[in-house]
């Protein structure tokens, strides 16, 4: 478990199957916000877990209440051997914990764990309207690679996606 300074005090630990209901509820709340993903409904737990790397799935737990405050997970960008060190991540925070350092705590712990696992590139696609996420990623060493214009439709509207990546200086 990684203890991280944030408000509230959170501990980042590996995601467990026992976290399924709360992780999927936090995911759905993010999807319902309209600026988190092209997805509109969280999958069932089996589908969620199968699509994410087991060693790179974490939750942030409120140290005072034990409540899961957010999660972060990664997927492979490709099954090709040359991309083994490249992942795409997602980070979601319970609406009650937004703007309180939980996503930062998760992302900091994730970066450390990914480097320990030999990951050299972390990437993500973020809607340009999601300024808090873009600012957070920039503050932790992610750079904007470019904008994929009108890459997909979301609720009938064409949306852009800002592609960000972080190259590990250690791997």
Q: What percent of the chain has pLDDT over 70?
A: 95
pLDDT in tens, 54-109: 999 999 999 999 999 999 999 999 999 999 899 999 999 999 999 999 999 999 99
Residue 57 domain-assigned (yes or no): yes
Which residue, among 81, 73, 63, 86, has the nearest Cα to 37 in the 3D structure?
73
CATH of the domain at 30: 3.40.630.30
Please give the residue range of the domain that contains residue 48. Answer: 2-124
Residue 143 domain-assigned (yes or no): no
Dist CA 9 CA 147 (whole Å): 35
Does 146 have pLDDT greater than 60?
yes
Q: 0.85 cut: is pTM over it?
A: yes
Residue 134 domain-assigned (yes or no): no
Domain count, the chain: 1
Give the pairing type, strands 121-126 and 86-93.
parallel
Q: Is the peptide bond before 81 cis (omega within 30 degrees of 0)?
A: no
Residue 96 domain-assigned (yes or no): yes
Residue 85 domain-assigned (yes or no): yes
Residue 138 domain-assigned (yes or no): no
Is there a contact between 15 and 71 (Cβ–Cβ < 8 Å)?
A: yes
Residue 168 domain-assigned (yes or no): no
Could you tell me how many residues make up the chain? 171
């Amino acid at each position: 478990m990684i203890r991280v300074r944030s408000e509230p005090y959170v501990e980042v630990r590996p995601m467990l199957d026992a976290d399924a209901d709360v992780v999927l509820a936090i995911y759905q709340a993010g999807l319902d916000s309209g600026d988190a993903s092209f997805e509109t409904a969280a999958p069932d737990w089996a589908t969620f877990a199968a699509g994410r790397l087991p060693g790179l799935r974490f939750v942030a737990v409120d140290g005072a209440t034990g409540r899961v405050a957010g999660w972060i997970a990664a997927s492979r960008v490709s099954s090709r051997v040359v991309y083994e060190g490249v992942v795409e991540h997602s980070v979601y925070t319970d609406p009650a914990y937004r703007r309180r350092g939980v996503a930062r705590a998760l992302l900091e712990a994730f970066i450390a764990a990914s480097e320990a696992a030999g990951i050299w590139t972390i990437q993500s696609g973020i809607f340009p309207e999601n300024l808090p996420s873009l600012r957070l990623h920039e503050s932790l060493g992610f750079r904007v690679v470019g904008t994929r214009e009108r890459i997909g439709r979301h609720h009938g509207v064409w949306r852009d996606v800002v592609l960000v990546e972080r190259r590990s200086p250690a791997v």
